[in-house]
Amino acid sequence: MPTPNNPVSRVSAQLRNISDLSQLRVVFHDITQSLGFDWYVYANFRTLGSFDTPPSLISNYPQGWLDEYMENQYDRIDPVVGRTVREISPFLWSRLYPDFRKTDQERHMMERAASWGLRTGYVVPVSKNSKTVALVSFVSRHDIDVVEPMVASEGDALSYVAIIIYNAIANISRKWKHDIPKLSKRETEVLRALSAGKSAKQTAAELGITANTVYFHNMRIKKKLKVRNLEHAISVATEFNLYQ
């Protein structure tokens, strides 16, 4: 049975009265650091029609890497995602090396991650169905020879913490989603295009509407989501999976 001082009991107690994602991020960061890792990520990917829907990410990764990941749509080739789709057991990134070296794109993506300091990770698949797959990763700046003993010692705790974090995110999302109005089909299409880095002109051409109509939908989206700018709208839509 978990003791009051172990990571599982500690994160359970800290999350008991959490009501929003900003509070959860603080707990997620603290527990990740206490377990010897530098970064965390919760990621939810659509496996059905995933090329049209950005992944939902909650992370303390360097912002530059998050921007690069989303802009280049690395989720389409990410070997971590591919492995999570295929199996349900936790795994170290080192188990991916024979696989991702088969393609230049996958190798390039992992090398780019390492250039941001993301060298080794421990992945815990937390949810999978016919449409989506979700995972929690604990990531280190250190190489596998440092991380592997940590996982051997704390692997069970990492898995339990990942499940607790996932359940907390699901509970918060269910609560807050009731307060967030649904976007129309056209608003969703506009926001999806803008979140992919397309300009108003490019979005208009893609959707067969005018740039002024794109600006109108952008204004409506911000008003509905009660945010001040497009970046915040994209963040809210990503965290609450409003692209579906």
Domain borders along the chain are 7-177, 185-239
CATH class given for the domain over 7-177? alpha beta
Mean pLDDT of all residues belonging to the chain: 84
Q: What is the mean pLDDT of residues 158-167?
A: 92
Statement: residue 153 has pLDDT above 80: yes
The Cα 3–Cα 9 span in angstroms is 6
Q: What is the mean pLDDT of residues 155-175?
A: 86
| Other C-beta atoms lying within 10 Å of the C-beta of residue 95 | 12
Comparing 119-123, 196-200, 233-237, which segment has the lowest mean pLDDT?
Answer: 233-237
Q: What is the mean pLDDT of residues 132-156?
A: 92
Q: What is the mean pLDDT of residues 50-68?
A: 80
Sheet strand arrangement including 56-59: 56-59, 39-46, 132-140, 120-128, 91-92
pLDDT at 2: 46
The Cα-based distances of 94 to 81, 116, 119, 160, 161 in angstroms read 14, 17, 10, 21, 21
Percent of the chain past pLDDT 70, that is, above it, reads: 87
Amino acid letter at 96?
L
pLDDT at 179: 64
pLDDT at 4: 46
Q: What is the mean pLDDT of residues 47-64?
A: 74
Closest CA to 94 of 139, 60, 38, 125: 139
Q: Is 78 helix (H, G, I), strand (E, B) or coil?
A: coil
pTM (two decimals) = 0.73
Helix orientation angle between 79-86 and 104-115, rounded to the nearest 10 degrees: 110
The Cα 81–Cα 30 span in angstroms is 25
pLDDT at 1: 43
Q: Is 121 helix (H, G, I), strand (E, B) or coil?
A: strand
pLDDT at 244: 62
Going by the DSSP 8-state scheme, the letter that residue 134 receives in this structure is E
In angstroms and rounded to an integer, the radius of gyration of the C-alpha atoms of the chain is 19
Same fold, 7-177 and 185-239: no
Q: Is 172 helix (H, G, I), strand (E, B) or coil?
A: helix
The topology (CATH level 3) of 185-239 is: Arc Repressor Mutant, subunit A (1.10.10)
